[in-house]
Amino acid sequence: MVELTIDGIKMEAPEGSMVIQAAQDVGVYVPHFCYHKKLSIAANCRMCLVDVEKAPKPLPACATPVTNGMVVRTRSDKAIAAQKSVMEFLLINHPLTARSVTRVANVSCKTWQ
Ligand code: FES
């Protein structure tokens, strides 16, 4: 087990597990599109970018293994800016598909800050 902090919550996670799974274990939601715990890690969408202390830029939570003493912020300015940039990029490049998903699948999207 390794000890880490996610959004101020100190926790332990199994060695080799990913940040997104550790966050979910303590009830912290990280936005994601291509991650599913039962599938192999694709890490294609970059929607799960989070702010990891001492990392020069945001890292994908689904493909970043937990390490001892790691400090992760999912709602910092840096993390939110990265997530918004990815969302903007996806909407610019897939405007019709992204908008039609809510209509076709009758799902609601989370409101972005
Ligand atoms: S959920 Fe797609 S890159 Fe992490």
**Domain locations in the chain?**
2-105
pLDDT band at 58 (very low <50, low <70, confident <90, very high): very high
In this structure, the number of other CB atoms found within 10 A of the CB of residue 95 comes to: 10
Distance 50 CA to ligand 1 centre (A): 11
Q: Output the CA 69–ligand 1 centroid distance in Å.
A: 23
For the sheet with 2-6, list strands across it: 9-13, 2-6, 70-73, 49-52, 59-60
pTM, two decimal places: 0.81
When pLDDT is averaged across residues 59-69 and rounded to a whole number, the result is 97
Q: For residue 18, give the 3-state DSSP assignment.
A: strand
Q: Which CATH class is domain 2-105?
A: alpha beta
